[in-house]
Amino acid sequence: MSEPLALTGAPDEPSATGSVRALPSPAVAPARRRALTEALAAWALAGPAVFFLLALFFLPVIGVLVIALTDWQFGALTLAFVGLANFREVFADDGFRASLVNTIVYVLIVVPGTLVFGLLIALLIESGKSCRSFYRAIHFLPFMATLTAMAVAWEALLHPTIGLVNQTLAAIGLPTANWLRDENTALPVLAVIGIWQNLGYAMVLFLAGLKSIPQDLYDAADIDGADLWLDRFRTVTLPLLGPVSMFVVIVVALRAFESFDTVKVLTQGGPGHASEMLLYTLYRESFEYLRTGYGAAVAVVFLAIVVTLTLAQARLMDRKVHYQ
């Protein structure tokens, strides 16, 4: 766009990338003009994205904070500042407290479960040469598959009388349960489905991490006397998987916090509040019960947790984890 103009002003322009300071003074004015056109072009190119980021991300965040701090309801024309009243209502509600605790318990089951199984399967796949992509494909499948539809399949599996799970347990003489209707099992069962869905993702991330470990390091470890697989694993593999592991913890934790589909399809948060989780509470209060202020307060709590988690772990990652 502006380049031909600048070229007429300074014939030796192509070398400008490296040696801006060496330019003769007559080139300064075109250079400044070029900087201006470059800035204008940049803002024109980024303009639509900026507009939509503001309209669809930043404005709504402010909106949700405003709704949470006022008495505004859907369709209302006026609103008044009510301070933290909505938050007090939320935290005084047994249902919300149960939802918060359930979500934390769910995350504390899903994250380690996904991490351990994902790492083990990745190590097993990487330890041999044959059938790698076959095994990778099988274990990754649940992550791709539409969870709503798979939840319907899980419901059939967990059916108290005709489900495969109870049939199998009965056949080998173990006690059966009404998995999704029992307050002791509903949440753990959802967590198992969460692990089932996410472990392939963790596996794929670990596989990429394993592949990026240079062979030199294993050779060096060999020379240093790390003959056993376990020695090499402890001294090379595990430390070098640090960044990937932290990343897996973050993304799986965030995905677990955002679990919604299985709750909606399988339990609707029940029995009682036994399997209610934050996002389901947010959805139900905001859009089914139309308790706008309550819903917004739940959204703010949810946002605070997610942001804190991401930032805390990003800091942890900077401090503790090995980088190349």
Instruction: Give the Cα separation of 205 and 187 in Å (integer).
Output: 27
Q: Which is nearer to other proteins, 5 or 29 (CB)?
A: 5
Residue count, binding to other proteins (CB under 8 A): 105
The residue type of 19 is S
- Report, in Å, the least distance between residue 274 CB and other proteins: 20
DSSP 155: H
Of 116, 307, 312, 316, the one binding other proteins (CB under 8 A) is 307
Site string for other proteins, 58-97 (x = CB under 8 A): xxxx-xx--x------x-----------------------
- 28 binding other proteins? (CB under 8 A): no
- 179 binding other proteins? (CB under 8 A): no
Of 5, 29, 39, 108, the one binding other proteins (CB under 8 A) is 39
Q: Scan residues 269-298 and list those touching other proteins (CB under 8 A).
A: 279, 282-283, 286-287, 292, 295-296
- 205 binding other proteins? (CB under 8 A): yes
Site string for other proteins, 241-270 (x = CB under 8 A): --xx--x---x--x--xx-xx--xx-----
Instruction: Give the Cα separation of 29 and 103 in Å (integer).
Output: 60
Of 71, 143, 217, 246, the one binding other proteins (CB under 8 A) is 143
Instruction: Give the Cα separation of 54 and 126 in Å (integer).
Output: 44
Nearest Cα to Cα of residue 221 among 209, 235, 211, 210: 235
DSSP character string of 225-268: T--SHHHHIIIIIHHHTHHHHHHHHHHHHHHHHT--HHIIIIIT
Of 5, 20, 84, 131, the one binding other proteins (CB under 8 A) is 131
Count CB atoms within 10 A of the CB of residue 37.
15
Q: Which is nearer to other proteins, 92 or 171 (CB)?
A: 171
Q: What values do phi and psi take at 81, rounded to 5?
A: -65, 125
